Structure 1
Amino acid sequence: MKKTALHTALFAAVAMTAFAAQAGQYPDLPVGIKGGSGALIGDTVYVGLGSGGDKFFSLNLKEKDAQWQELPAFPGGPRNQPVAAGVDGKLYVFGGFQKTEVANNQIINDVHVYNPEDNSWSKVDTRSPRTAVGASSVTKDGKIYFVGGVNEEIWNGLFQALTAAGDDKAKQKDILDPYFNMRAQDFFFSSEIASYEPMKNSWRNEGYFPYQGRAGAALGLKGDKLLVVNGEIKAGLRTPTTELGTIGKNGISWKKLGDLPAPEGYKQQEGIAGAMGGYTNGNYIVTGGANFPGARANYAKGIMDAHRTGGLKKTYHSAVYALDGKKGTWKVVGNFPQNIGYGVAVSYNNKVVVIGGETDGGKALTAVRTMSYDGKKLVIE
């Protein structure tokens, strides 16, 4: 009976997904962009960096037959996993990983702003009190809220040590083994919610996130409700939990929601990092992301090096999850056309626009697709 019920449920989820005849209603990116960032300002979405090098592109989502336009080169140079946000008609870009004279993959703590009015970039005289790298952001009332983020000292120190080790495999092992064998809390991912208000060029501590610090979580914002979906809690290990914060005058109050359910073919939900989500017809949906199946089971057994033990493989996913806002629970409502993670998603015109990303093997994607969900049917174009 259990097998029959499971098959019935999975069939129903797949049946609720409808695909348009065309790949999508918007043109593909000029280049594949994974590990980059982007934001929506009015009707225009901006996407760039990551595998796009120092390039940024814009697309007017309202204009019929619009094509991607290339912006002036980003002045901070190529970088991966920056955080981008739109405020007061301008695009702000925070930090990222970058190759420097010191070492590869160094966290850069800087801020740049793009002004569409004069098509120019400038550097902002500020820096984040908590690294924005690995963080996720939402914008409300002229402020950018940051959730999570990796620890700059631990991360930069790791790659500086690896650079000093050169090609010596024994030295590399002596550096990497202690790193991957740390407990989740010993990675010191940020559990403080920071905010930045461009008009005042000021940072604020908006309170403590009372759950595990994380990187690469998916976020959603509706009114004063801030939704946090999964994310990485240490290298190679994710969490399946979701949380909801209420933004108030005196900070943010939090409560736990249900975990994401396991996708088809898996015994448990590993949790996903690099997923893409947003609101459509009042419903929050999220898709994609990557994890290492088996890592949670290893960690529960006390194996700190959870994803390397047993040679676990980084796996990308396609399940689309929808939140029941009243119950605080999730269900699978269909599947994205391909496994995907680490792209850009924005909510626009009652649809979630998914831009670029990467798929199996780390291949960078150019496709732009939309997802809409009315509480019953998922439509992907």
Structure 2
Amino acid sequence: MKYTAFLLLMSMACQSFVHGITCADDVTDSAIVQDSIAPMLKITWRLGVDLPQGFQDSDGGILGDRLITIGGFCSGGLEEDNRRKPGRSPRGFLKKGWSLDLRDAESDWTSLPDFPGPARQGLSAAIVDDALYVWGGFSYEEPYCYRDGWRLSREGDRWQWSELPPFPWPINSTSLATIGSRIYACGGSDYNAERFFTETDRAGGRERLGARLLMFDTNELSAGWQELEACPGTPRWVHTMAAIDGELYVIGGATGDTIRDGASVGYCTVVDNWKYNTADRQWTRLRDLPVASGNFPRSTNNVFQNRYILLPGGYQYGHVLNPDGSLRQPYGQVHSANEKSGLCNDVFVYDTRSGLFGTADRLPIDNNLPMTVIRDDTIYLIGGETGGGVIQGHYYGHHPDLLLIGKIEVVAAQP
């Protein structure tokens, strides 16, 4: 898709024209600052079997023993992509889905029944028991942003889709997390073919769209989505939400197109992080990100050892938007495997026990928003957006046909 390139251009174009910006060390809310960041996890990266084609912004998870990806978008590839891998980057939004049997090291991707809604990217998926639940997404055709919901399940050797109650409003890139039979959704954006919206919906009537929290109980489908207490922090999309021991952790992300004094200041990094206790229904502010980087995967299981939340990739926009609506300069050093890509290869880690951020081994290629899922000590990254690059002698393009697999270990015993 072209939306991340659009965000990058908007961010760079607006850096010199900002109203109400504060200096980098002037944090307007009671953020907790972490002075340094150290390695927490070791990840040994290797290539998995290539995807059937290149794409980005899909979602899915591990259903049974099968790694599943649904939807996405491919830009058609850069000149080098099509020269080096002809036919692997067909342009368009996807209705396609594939599964990979993780029990068989020699297995290849197999096709699933097409997604029953319009082709799209930015859809959000969660797995509960033996089914995959999917809502939302966006495309470049009306209505641009979607609210329909679908469930993928398997009976014997037969996969089937069934319709679910819709999301209450059009949404894309909302982050989902599961606790028992319940699916929680936080944030996300609306889209009108020109801009992404998080402070309101596209019509301006639904305030703080990207801070809304909702719950869907898969044991009570007819009840649909129920709205809960909204996050007090900055409205956001392309962020991570993870569930650990009955609490929801909301980390990072980006804003939609931000308007101040009637002018666009572009898309901003979100650095304020929050925890929601589902028992007492209270929000607590966590430590801010030690580096101003957003665009973290929304996938429902990027947690290791029921403790560490992994945040691969990321992107540093030209400004940070604070929870009170003021702006400040970005801070901290992000890293890239290819400086020309404009993207990042960092892997940040949040330790939910110590409340500290750390790092893990960087990605071998810059990658923006790869679908990410962890099972046991293994992390799987699917597709994404890269600047193109070579991994272990194999070329991967802008929207890559890439399955990247990592073995996770704790660097040293953590308190």
What is the TM-score with the length of structure 1 in the denominator? 0.73
Mapping 1:1-381, distance limit 5 Å: 19=44, 23-24=46-47, 26-51=48-73, 53-100=94-141, 103=142, 106-117=144-155, 118-124=158-164, 126-151=165-190, 155-156=191-192, 159=193, 188-201=208-221, 202=223, 203-235=225-257, 236-248=267-279, 252-262=281-291, 269-274=292-297, 278-281=302-305, 282-292=307-317, 294-296=318-320, 315-360=342-387, 363-376=398-411
What amino acid is the match of 1:192? R
Query: 1:131 touches 1:149 (CA, 8 Å); kept in 2?
Result: no
For 1:35-78, what per-residue CA distance to the aligned partner results, in whole angstroms no more than 9, with x for missing partners? 22112223222102112611001112233322211101112131
1:242 Cα shift?
Answer: 2.1
Query: 1:146 touches 1:195 (CA, 8 Å); kept in 2?
Result: yes
| Equivalent-residue separation in structure 2 for 1:185 and 1:353 (angstroms) | 39
The alpha-carbon distance between structure 1 residues 275 and 99, as it changes in their structure 2 partners (threshold 3 A), is closer
What amino acid is the match of 1:279? V
Give identity over the alignment, percent.
Answer: 22
Q: Where is the helix percentage greater, Structure 1 or Structure 2?
A: 1
SS of 1:316's equivalent? coil
Query: 2:238 touches 2:294 (CA, 8 Å); kept in 1?
Result: no
SS of 1:190's equivalent? helix
1:231 Cα shift?
Answer: 0.9
Q: Higher relative contact order by CA 8 Å / sep ≥ 6: 1 or 2?
A: 2
For 1:202-246, what per-residue CA distance to the aligned partner results, in whole angstroms no more than 9, with x for missing partners? 222232212122111112222212111101123211212222222
What amino acid is the match of 2:159? N
Query: 1:246 touches 1:253 (CA, 8 Å); kept in 2?
Result: yes
The RMSD of aligned alpha carbons is: 3.5
The alpha-carbon distance between structure 1 residues 88 and 301, as it changes in their structure 2 partners (threshold 3 A), is closer
| Equivalent-residue separation in structure 1 for 2:296 and 2:309 (angstroms) | 17
| Equivalent-residue separation in structure 2 for 1:199 and 1:327 (angstroms) | 34
The alpha-carbon distance between structure 1 residues 60 and 107, as it changes in their structure 2 partners (threshold 3 A), is same
The alpha-carbon distance between structure 1 residues 314 and 145, as it changes in their structure 2 partners (threshold 3 A), is farther
What amino acid is the match of 1:286? L
SS of 1:360's equivalent? coil
Q: Where is the strand percentage greater, Structure 1 or Structure 2?
A: 1
1:291 Cα shift?
Answer: 3.6
What amino acid is the match of 1:77? P
SS of 2:302's equivalent? strand
1:18 Cα shift?
Answer: 5.8
The alpha-carbon distance between structure 1 residues 342 and 187, as it changes in their structure 2 partners (threshold 3 A), is farther
SS of 2:366's equivalent? strand
| Equivalent-residue separation in structure 2 for 1:335 and 1:64 (angstroms) | 25
The alpha-carbon distance between structure 1 residues 234 and 285, as it changes in their structure 2 partners (threshold 3 A), is same
| Equivalent-residue separation in structure 1 for 2:302 and 2:327 (angstroms) | 35
What is the TM-score with the length of structure 2 in the denominator? 0.67
Runs of at least 5 residues in structure 2 that lack an aligned partner in the other structure: 1-35, 74-92, 258-266, 330-339, 389-396
| Equivalent-residue separation in structure 2 for 1:127 and 1:285 (angstroms) | 30
What amino acid is the match of 1:214? R
Query: 2:100 touches 2:108 (CA, 8 Å); kept in 1?
Result: yes
For 1:306-360, what per-residue CA distance to the aligned partner results, in whole angstroms no more than 9, with x for missing partners? xxxxxxx993211111223333121233311111122211121222221211112
Query: 1:275 touches 1:341 (CA, 8 Å); kept in 2?
Result: no
Query: 1:90 touches 1:114 (CA, 8 Å); kept in 2?
Result: yes
Query: 1:54 touches 1:74 (CA, 8 Å); kept in 2?
Result: yes
1:17 Cα shift?
Answer: 5.0
Query: 1:258 touches 1:328 (CA, 8 Å); kept in 2?
Result: yes
1:270 Cα shift?
Answer: 4.2
1:186 Cα shift?
Answer: 9.4
1:273 Cα shift?
Answer: 4.4
Residue in 2 that maps onto 1:168: none
| Equivalent-residue separation in structure 2 for 1:134 and 1:187 (angstroms) | 17
| Equivalent-residue separation in structure 1 for 2:408 and 2:97 (angstroms) | 29
For 1:130-160, what per-residue CA distance to the aligned partner results, in whole angstroms no more than 9, with x for missing partners? 4441211012211111010224xxx33xx3x
Runs of at least 5 residues in structure 1 that lack an aligned partner in the other structure: 1-8, 163-174, 263-268, 304-312
